[in-house]
Amino acid sequence: MLLKTFGWSFAVTAIGLVAAVFYGGWTGFGVVAILSILEISLSFDNAVVNAGILKKMNAFWQKIFLTVGVLIAVFGMRLVFPVVIVAISAQLNPIDAVDLALTDKDQYQQYVTDAHPAIAAFGGMFLLMIFLDFIFEDRDIKWLAWLERPLAKLGKVDMLSVCIALIVLLISSMTFAAHAHQHGGTHVDKAETVLLAGIAGLITYLAVGGLSSYFEDKLEEEEEREHEAEEQAKRSGKQQSAVLLAGKAAFFMFLYLEVLDASFSFDGVIGAFAITNDIVLMALGLGIGAMYVRSLTVYLVRQGTLDDYVYLEHGAHYAIGALAVILLVTIQYEINEVITGLVGVVLIAASFWSSVRRNKRLAEAEGSTEGSGKAEVSSGV
């Protein structure tokens, strides 16, 4: 079961890591490994959401999402999108950006370094909004309750996350952007660039969130109509046109999943810029991670166990928040790639360990309850 589900992911991992060694030596191997782990950890909640929706779809639409969808996710978002970001930021033709990245790494590195303040501001705001919207939502399950409980109460204030993000952007433009790091170790004033790029990142997040909400509403409408049609068919004793309704609902599910998948892909791609500017290593690492997300989605659908490690989603979002802060700091200061990657890995590992301990406590409590129940029965007899 495990090999059947994760077989392609294992194969892609082996090929990707070998390619990383040939391309960038053991440093490249380490960067690709960290990027893969980061992508998997950041997209775990994506796999959970995908699995929750996919299990409602028939086998045909599941196959469409897991084939066409993964092609879009891997080749579209993980390979093309990083090049587009660099091309726009450095004002280059996308083809020229790819050519430079492969043939003249020094020149490409200069373009990327000079464009980094804009990339960092855009990505920092996008990631920060993901983190803030998560942390301000009142959730039944809380990992760091002492922190999340009061923040959930603050989250009842409308548009609080947007206000905080804009304040952070303003402070960043007045501090880090005033002495932005450029190629050659020089520092220039990039306040205006950081402000514009940060606002663009905020708008992008709101637009993607709006589209996701739109498709989610459409999906709910289709499900309600299908339920009403089923009830009406039962009352009249007629055969209903279930295929058409199921097809429309599944189509909206597919569109919703694609938009949602794209929105989750943003954090991995943007976060990768905090670790490396090399698009080859970035593509290898994110591609491996995307394959595991696909396999994990299939595994969760087949096994039906989505809630075993309840704190992983929290850990992933804390990692997103940490990456957002790191990106904004790197506008002025350089931070080692390994340190950046390990921050996310440590947070994910901590949330995983907390989940394991929680499951153990629940199992022990359930065992003790059953034991006391049996003792009461035997004593009564």
**What is the predicted pLDDT for the residue at 219?**
66
**What is the predicted pLDDT for the residue at 376?**
47
Q: How far is CA 139 from CA 5, 79, 100, 144, 164, in A?
A: 31, 34, 46, 12, 20
Domain boundaries of the chain, sorted by first residue: 2-370
Q: DSSP letter at 237?
A: T
Q: How far is CA 196 from CA 126, 170, 228, in A?
A: 13, 11, 48
Dihedral sign computed on CA atoms, order 148, 168, 274, 201: positive
The residue written with tokens 């200061």 in the block is 333
pLDDT per residue rounded down to tens, the chain (381 residues): 667 777 778 888 899 899 999 888 888 888 888 888 777 766 665 666 667 667 766 677 777 777 777 677 666 777 777 777 667 766 777 788 777 777 776 777 677 777 778 878 888 888 888 889 888 888 888 888 888 888 888 888 888 889 999 999 999 888 888 777 665 666 777 888 889 989 988 998 888 777 767 776 776 777 677 777 777 777 776 655 444 435 556 676 677 677 666 656 665 676 676 677 777 888 888 888 878 877 777 777 776 555 677 787 788 788 888 888 888 888 888 776 667 767 777 887 888 898 888 888 888 887 776 666 555 444 443
**What is the predicted pLDDT for the residue at 331?**
83
Cβ distance 180 to 332 under 8 Å? yes
Three-state DSSP state, 84 = helix
**What is the predicted pLDDT for the residue at 242?**
43
Three-state DSSP state, 187 = strand
**What is the predicted pLDDT for the residue at 157?**
84
Cβ distance 310 to 141 under 8 Å? yes
Cβ distance 253 to 219 under 8 Å? yes
Maximal CA-CA distance, the chain: 85
Cβ distance 166 to 132 under 8 Å? no
How far, in Å, CA of 337 to CA of 34, rounded? 9
Nearest to 317 by CA among 50, 147, 134: 134
How far, in Å, CA of 270 to CA of 339, rounded? 16
- Helix axes of 279-303 and 81-89: crossing angle, nearest 10 degrees: 140
